[in-house]
Amino acid sequence: MTAIEQLPVIDISHLTSTCLADRRAVARELDRACSEIGFLTITGAQLDPALFDRLLARARSYFALDPASKMRSYIGLSENHSGYVPVGEEQFGGGTADLKEAYDINRDYTRSSGRRRLLGPNLWPFMPGFREDTLAYYRHLSGIGHALFRAFALALGLDESHFDAHLRQPPSQLRLIHYPHDPVAQDRPGIGAHTDYECFTLLFATAPGLQILRKDGIWADVPVHEGALIMNVGDMMEIMSNGRYLATRHRVRKVREERYSFPMFFSCDYDHVVAPLIPGEPPKYAPLHCGEHLFNQTAQTFAYLKRRIASGELVLDRPMALDSFGLKSAEAKVAEKAA
């Protein structure tokens, strides 16, 4: 019932070239892929397979623990929304609870000053090597993400260093996600349909299961290529590109096969205000506070934050609906088909 989506494949090796023309060539490919579909496959000499393998091994070991051991690092106990996310903790919109468990890692911000709701010290499990290998992967992808920010600047007609000043302490998040084997889960979502809140996402996955909503309203399977990353545009890049790049709605549906997924969501600094950046174009979007948007959207999906809202302990400031970005016409077609 779905079509296989052939995503654009971009080799980002030349983003480390000393030649500006080489970097511009990659930026043009990135611009084309993001404006046409918003999802693509990333390859390149920068990718370190050994770090991927170490992260996968740590995730397998952690999620094999008994529930009580994992809940000692429950995300609701953290200062910066990090830690263990049990099955059923997340729910997008009015859908069913997600059939997955996760461990969320944010920037490990240990300073006493400058902390925010998503910026603080991580909650780590009592497992030797977990913190070290996870942070090594986090730092590795952070470097790749920084180079991609510079490519986006070129693609949008800005100075190549435009984003550098806004990436000092970004609350970018790495998620270690485990979809348990469940042979009867065909119609239950692994992750419900949504757009990502941040600028862009880099994803390493061990098996298929991810689907995107195409512009014709059809849900399409995303192929997995060994040694490659899947990349997609989020809400904030839609704003900054003034709608040139639409945040693509996606979901995980096939959870009958055990699957591990490691998305890293790239954000600008917590207090940065994102706004349309295209030179000479009138803005189509209102400015948006980066950290506020991230936390508000997160609070609408996690059970422990919903409980705090319901009790009055937590009050959100100007939250936007979870479906505020992305291709609205395609969503309408899907709704019509389901009616």
**What is the reported pLDDT for 335?**
43
**Count of domains observed in the chain:** 1
Q: In the chain, which ranges are E strands?
A: 3-4, 9-11, 39-43, 83-85, 101-105, 173-179, 191-194, 200-205, 210-213, 219-221, 229-233, 250-252, 259-266, 273-274, 288-289
We report the CATH number of the domain holding residue 15 as 2.60.120.330
- pLDDT digits over 34-86, tens only? 999 899 999 999 999 999 999 999 999 999 999 999 999 999 999 999 999 99
The answer to whether the CB of 127 falls within 8 A of the CB of 61 is: yes
Kindly provide the b/e burial profile for residues 291-302, where b requires at least 16 CB atoms within 10 angstroms of the residue's own CB: bbbbbbbbbbbb
Sheet hosting strand 200-205, strand order edge to edge: 9-11, 39-43, 229-233, 200-205, 259-266, 173-179, 101-105, 83-85
Rounded CA-CA distance 157/176 in Å is 34
Place of tokens 């692994």: 190
108-117, 210-219, 326-335: which is most confident:
108-117
The answer to whether the CB of 294 falls within 8 A of the CB of 267 is: yes
Higher per-residue pLDDT: 141 or 330: 141
**What is the reported pLDDT for 190?**
52
Q: Would you place residue 21 in the very low, low, confident or very high pLDDT band (cuts 50, 70, 90)?
A: very high
Domain of 159, in residue numbers: 3-338
**What is the reported pLDDT for 39?**
93
State if pTM tops 0.95.
no
Higher per-residue pLDDT: 192 or 8: 8
**What is the reported pLDDT for 339?**
35
Please, which residues have CB within 8 angstroms of residue 82's CB and are 6 or more apart in sequence?
Answer: 75, 104, 105, 106, 122, 123
For residue 12, give the 3-state DSSP assignment. coil
- pLDDT digits over 228-245, tens only? 999 999 999 999 999 999
Rounded CA-CA distance 156/150 in Å is 10
Per-chain mean pLDDT for the chain: 89
Rounded CA-CA distance 139/23 in Å is 22
**What is the reported pLDDT for 2?**
56
**What is the reported pLDDT for 234?**
94
Taking the chain, what is the end-to-end CA distance rounded to the nearest angstrom?
16
The answer to whether the CB of 263 falls within 8 A of the CB of 202 is: yes
